[in-house]
Amino acid sequence: MRLAQNGDYEAAWREIMRINPLPAIMGRVCYRPCETACNRGQLDETVGINSVERFLGDEAVRAGWTVSAGPSTGRRVLVVGAGPAGLAAAYHLRLLGHDVTMRDAGPEPGGMMRFGIPAYRLPRDVLDAEIRRIVDLGVTLELNTRVDDVAAVRETDGFEAVFLAVGAQLSHRTYVPAGDSARLLDALSVLRHTAGGAPPLLGRRVAVYGGGNTAVDVARTARRLGAADAVIVYRRTRDRMPAHESEVAEAEEEGVRMCWLSTIARAGEGRITVERMRLDESGFPQPTGEFDELDADAVVLALGQDSDLGLVSQAPSVATAHGRIVVDSAFMTGLPGVFAGGDAISGDRTVTSAVGHGRRAAQAIDAWLRGRATAEEALVREAGYDLLNPWYYTEAPRQHRARLEAARRTSTFDEVVAGLDPATALFEARRCLSCGGCFECDNCYSVCPDDAVIKLGPGLRYEIDLEYCKGCGLCAAECPAGAITMIPEQRQPT
């Protein structure tokens, strides 16, 4: 943010790329947990960190900025799965100088970002550009290659370490009594075929069963494929829905209907029977015995996903639990040198956490290959809102990204949310409060009644001259960002 505030977008992008190799993608699909924590939310509205990230990512794609791999170590690492976790791990391992081979069972890299996230949220040219940048770092990409037994492949092909990022590609099934002519589909195959250019025939009325982000994606996709009526059937209430609030709101804008507190009891031809539910004291839905009928040509099940863990079934030391691989704090499975991340391990199953897994696993793999302990990440000193002095921040309303008009959102897969232009991106970056971080406003230097703050020059910040400081604390109180801490002086024993 600091670099973006100065208008130095390339430096700001390079700063992001130290952590996140997919800023243009993350600037679109991330659910922005960081903005929940943003202190500016208590002043007016949170800073659009995500929209600035997307702007920088798009600038990088437009200008063709690239990064270069680190000096080669000659160590070979296999990454299984070319989704967000695998791509992030491959990127960071290349920066650390390791030879990376990435294998994916699919025909194109991207994993769920390509086959799960619809194009109106993530245009394919952006996806391709960011993946190409990682592959161009020297990653050997082998597509349509399924890894069946991780231990055997590692042995025969001579990899020192393996990172498993196989994702969760299998749709969860549930038993729905259905007539012969009922059309039941699973959400992932609908999304995958749509992404592959061969959308399935859904009919005019589509019921989607489930309350997660995938369910919302399917319902919105169905609207774009020509369904006049898309209904999400979910057994709990809206506030208990795991889908992200902004997605649900966008879906409702597009005419997706919601049917709360309902389960599908029976599916027949052109018609389904839903049972009304009510929540008990513990918030769990209980059947009421009341039934309704809904018109639906097709029912899409979006009830969660499982990982295909066949590749570790012959490695008994790799523990699994609840259909996910068990890893330690360094992302290592029970088999030394075999690491796992992304949707295949427990987590919240978002692109955001997958990219984070990829980075941290790459660091752990690097440490393991070099025989070192994993480096502890430096703790960032957080400044809560109470440490700030909000008086000094100017009134600056949040810059919202434009959205596609509703008519085009039900007929095309054009991207719904537009990006910021350079002026609004700069404005948004400058709304950042820099909580806890000095941004050289010279307030401490100028409010000291005792001239005890020494200005060291641009970029060098300040020093307190303790010979003359009387400890009044005005500098700390009037620091906008709460970057100055008062520490009581310890009396020296005589």
**Binding window for other proteins (CB under 8 A); candidates: 52-60, 149-157, 240-248, 434-442:** 434-442
- In the complex, the smallest distance separating the C-beta of residue 109 from other proteins, rounded to whole angstroms, is 39
Burial class (CB in 10 A: 0-12, 13-18, 19+), 40: buried
- In the complex, the smallest distance separating the C-beta of residue 421 from other proteins, rounded to whole angstroms, is 16
Contact 294, 274 (CB under 8 A): yes
Q: Per rule CB under 8 A, is residue 470 in the interface with other proteins?
A: yes
Residue 54: what residue type?
R
Q: Per rule CB under 8 A, is residue 477 in the interface with other proteins?
A: yes
Nearest to 135 by CA among 196, 66, 58: 66
Say which DSSP state 345 is in: B
Nearest to 189 by CA among 204, 179, 199, 181: 199
Nearest to 212 by CA among 91, 309, 348: 348
**Binding window for other proteins (CB under 8 A); candidates: 31-39, 132-140, 337-345, 453-461:** 453-461
Q: Per rule CB under 8 A, is residue 439 in the interface with other proteins?
A: yes
**Binding window for other proteins (CB under 8 A); candidates: 106-114, 244-252, 264-272, 470-478:** 470-478
Nearer to other proteins, 238 or 430 (CB): 430
User: Which residues does 298 contact at the CB level (< 8 Å), separation at least 6?
Assistant: 183, 184, 185, 201, 202, 203, 205, 206, 207
Per-residue mark of binding to other proteins, 385-404 (x: CB under 8 A) = -x-xxxxxxxxx--------
- Can you list the alpha helix ranges (DSSP code H) found in 43-99? 49-63, 84-95
Q: Per rule CB under 8 A, is residue 3 in the interface with other proteins?
A: no
Residue 129: what residue type?
A
Q: Per rule CB under 8 A, is residue 445 in the interface with other proteins?
A: yes
Contact 133, 171 (CB under 8 A): no
- Can you list the alpha helix ranges (DSSP code H) found in 330-482? 351-369, 406-409, 422-429, 443-447, 474-477
Q: Per rule CB under 8 A, is residue 451 in the interface with other proteins?
A: yes
**Binding window for other proteins (CB under 8 A); candidates: 130-138, 343-351, 375-383, 445-453:** 445-453
Nearer to other proteins, 251 or 388 (CB): 388
Q: Per rule CB under 8 A, is residue 9 in the interface with other proteins?
A: no
Nearer to other proteins, 2 or 257 (CB): 2
Nearest to 361 by CA among 345, 350, 378, 348: 345
- In the complex, the smallest distance separating the C-beta of residue 15 from other proteins, rounded to whole angstroms, is 17
**Binding window for other proteins (CB under 8 A); candidates: 130-138, 165-173, 181-189, 451-459:** 451-459
Q: Per rule CB under 8 A, is residue 284 in the interface with other proteins?
A: no
Per-residue mark of binding to other proteins, 118-157 (x: CB under 8 A) = ----------------------------------------
Three-state DSSP state, 161: strand
**Binding window for other proteins (CB under 8 A); candidates: 12-20, 85-93, 349-357, 457-465:** 457-465
| Contact residue for other proteins among 15, 430, 437, 464 (CB under 8 A) | 430
Q: Per rule CB under 8 A, is residue 488 in the interface with other proteins?
A: no
Nearer to other proteins, 158 or 449 (CB): 449
**Binding window for other proteins (CB under 8 A); candidates: 13-21, 162-170, 193-201, 464-472:** 464-472
Q: Per rule CB under 8 A, is residue 464 in the interface with other proteins?
A: no
Q: Per rule CB under 8 A, is residue 480 in the interface with other proteins?
A: yes
User: Which residues does 446 contact at the CB level (< 8 Å), separation at least 6?
Assistant: none
Q: Per rule CB under 8 A, is residue 434 in the interface with other proteins?
A: yes
Nearest to 418 by CA among 27, 22, 9: 27
The H or E element that residue 274 is part of is strand 271-279
d(CA 13, CA 7): 11
Phi-psi region of 197 (alpha: psi -120 to 50; beta: other; left: phi over 0): left
| Contact residue for other proteins among 255, 337, 437, 471 (CB under 8 A) | 471
Radius of gyration of the chain (CA): 26
The H or E element that residue 128 is part of is helix 124-135
| Contact residue for other proteins among 64, 74, 283, 457 (CB under 8 A) | 457
Tokens of 336: 């030394």
Nearer to other proteins, 47 or 416 (CB): 47
Nearer to other proteins, 326 or 476 (CB): 476
Binding site residues, other proteins, CB under 8 A: 5-6, 386, 388-396, 427, 430-434, 439-443, 445-452, 455, 457-458, 465, 468, 470-474, 476-478, 480, 486
